[in-house]
Amino acid sequence: MSRRDGNGTLLDSFDLGIVDLQVRYKEAIANESEIAEVMSLAIALKRTELEKKLYFDFGGKVLGGVFKGMNYLPTSRGSLLMPKLLGTYEQEMASVLVDKAKNVESFLDIGCAEGYYVAGIAAKYPRVKSIGVDIDFNSTVLTSILCKINDVEGATFVTQDLACSLNELSGNVLVLVDVDGDEIETIKGISSFLEGTSKVGSLSLVIETDFKPDGASNAGDIRSSLVESGFKIEDTIIQNISCRFTPITAEMSFWDRCICGFERMRSEQAWIIANYDRGGTC
């Protein structure tokens, strides 16, 4: 199974990452850096070593969760690889997303990174057209590779153009939004598209909240924008720390389990679920 990008073998990323972290860790100690920086590098180094072991021990498979058995890449963009390999990644939201995907014809992941959800939904529900969009070119390349190694290329569409991705939607639609601060503009764009198309029946939206420059959550702003744009809010999913641990790591030391379970810096992370209301019929 080939896992390559334009710059060589993706599998090299483990060893490259380990060497880089070893150098930075030694430099931090030599420079008498703050203990927080030294510990952060030590944890990142240990996590990368554990990721490499898990990846090769189990043939690059996702080991649990909603996409258990999916072939995966030895790299992750914008998030940690370990939770994806373990299947604990965004577990609170992922289970809801997969359940909603049962009843749609189209799924769109806006900010798809390397394609965890694009390939996962396509593999789980072959009849669903699974679409990924990301402004980062390397992310779209990796998404295409992930779809290829899971034999779901025919059921997927990957692009850097949001308008192009929206135009691929039809029937009942599920959209996941993870855009790191551009949530409001994305909501407006989706609403504008819906007002101008008859191809889409219903649309369920799962949008990840983010943080303002002052550190406060933008969840309130997102809710207001959703209502103003014609959406009805269905629910809010709050991050649950218990979802970060899995029986897969039960035989590890407590220290290693904690490293494997680390996913996000902020405990206020949440996902807002909303449905588009076409004149009160949604």
Per-10-residue mean pLDDT, the chain, length 282: 49 88 93 92 94 94 97 94 96 96 97 98 97 97 97 97 96 96 94 94 95 90 95 94 91 93 79 80 40
Torsion sign, CA atoms 68, 73, 74, 76:
negative
Burial status of residue 80 (CB atoms within 10 A of its CB: 0-12, 13-18, 19 or more) = middle
C-alpha–C-alpha distance, residues 99 and 125, integer Å: 11
Q: Spell out the residues 6+ positions from residue 180 whose beta carbon is closer than 8 angstroms to its own.
A: 78, 111, 210
CA-nearest of 50, 12, 48, 44 to 28 is 44
CA dist 48 and 249 (Å) reads 15
Residue indicated by tokens 């990301």: 134
Q: What confidence score (pLDDT) does residue 278 get?
A: 63
- DSSP assigned state of 217: B
* Predicted pLDDT at 230: 92
DSSP 241: G
Q: What are 248's two structure tokens?
A: 């897969």
Helix, strand or coil, per DSSP, at residue 155: helix
Taking only the tens place, the pLDDT of each residue in 69-92 is 999 999 999 899 999 999 999 999
The confidence score (pLDDT) of residue 181 equals 87
Q: Where are the alpha helices (DSSP H) in the chain?
A: 12-30, 35-57, 82-86, 91-101, 116-124, 137-149, 162-167, 183-195, 219-228, 254-261
Contact 222/191 with Cβ under 8 angstroms?
no
Nearest-angstrom CA–CA distance, 115 and 118: 5
Measured CA angle at 114 (ends 215, 105), to 5 deg: 100
Residue 5: its H or E element: strand 4-5
Phi-psi region of 5 (alpha: psi -120 to 50; beta: other; left: phi over 0): beta
The 10s digit of each residue's pLDDT in 48-65 is 999 999 999 999 999 999
**If you ran DSSP here, which 8-state letter would residue 195 be given?**
H
Cα–Cα distance, 175 to 203 (Å, whole number):
7
CA-based R_g, the chain, Å: 19
Give the tokens for residue 148.
């290829």
Choose among 222, 135, 162: nearest CA to 187: 222
Token pair for 85? 């390999």
Supply 203's token pair: 């649309």
Q: What is the pLDDT of residue 269?
A: 82
- Whether the predicted model's global pTM rises above the 0.85 cut: yes
Q: Cβ(190)–Cβ(257) under 8 Å?
A: no
Domains of the chain and any CATH numbers: 60-276 (3.40.50.150)
CA distance 254 to 179: 33
